[in-house]
Amino acid sequence: MTIHLEIPDAVAEAMRLPGGERQQRLLIELAVSLYAQGILSFGKARQLCDMTKYEFGILLGKRGIPRHYSREDFQDDLAYARG
């Protein structure tokens, strides 16, 4: 399933970002927010904004967001370690 969000032109134009950066920055903000609220796991949040584990972990640290480590995260790490 793919979800498309509509952002009014006036809001998009009010963002102080170059047009080419808006979509990626919004995905990052969404991923961080959903992770911080416990709605998305670390793995799914980083997947949403297309970041590596290291990049997303650094971003969370810079923003002071503690890392949640669930059983699903552990399973993701095990799968990754196994190749």
pLDDT in tens, 59-83: 999 999 998 877 887 898 899 999 8
Rounded CA-CA distance 11/38 in Å is: 27
pLDDT per residue as tens digits for the range 39-57:
999 999 999 999 999 999 9
Query: Is residue 33 one of the residues assigned to a domain?
Result: yes
Rounded CA-CA distance 25/31 in Å is: 10
Query: Is residue 72 one of the residues assigned to a domain?
Result: yes
pLDDT per residue as tens digits for the range 17-44:
888 899 999 999 999 999 999 999 999 9
Query: Is residue 4 one of the residues assigned to a domain?
Result: no
| 3-class SS string, 10-27 | HHHHHCCCCHHHHHHHHH
Rounded CA-CA distance 3/21 in Å is: 19
Domain encompassing residue 61? 9-82
SS3 6: coil
Query: Is residue 3 one of the residues assigned to a domain?
Result: no
Tokens coding 76: 């993701």
What is the domain count for the chain? Answer: 1
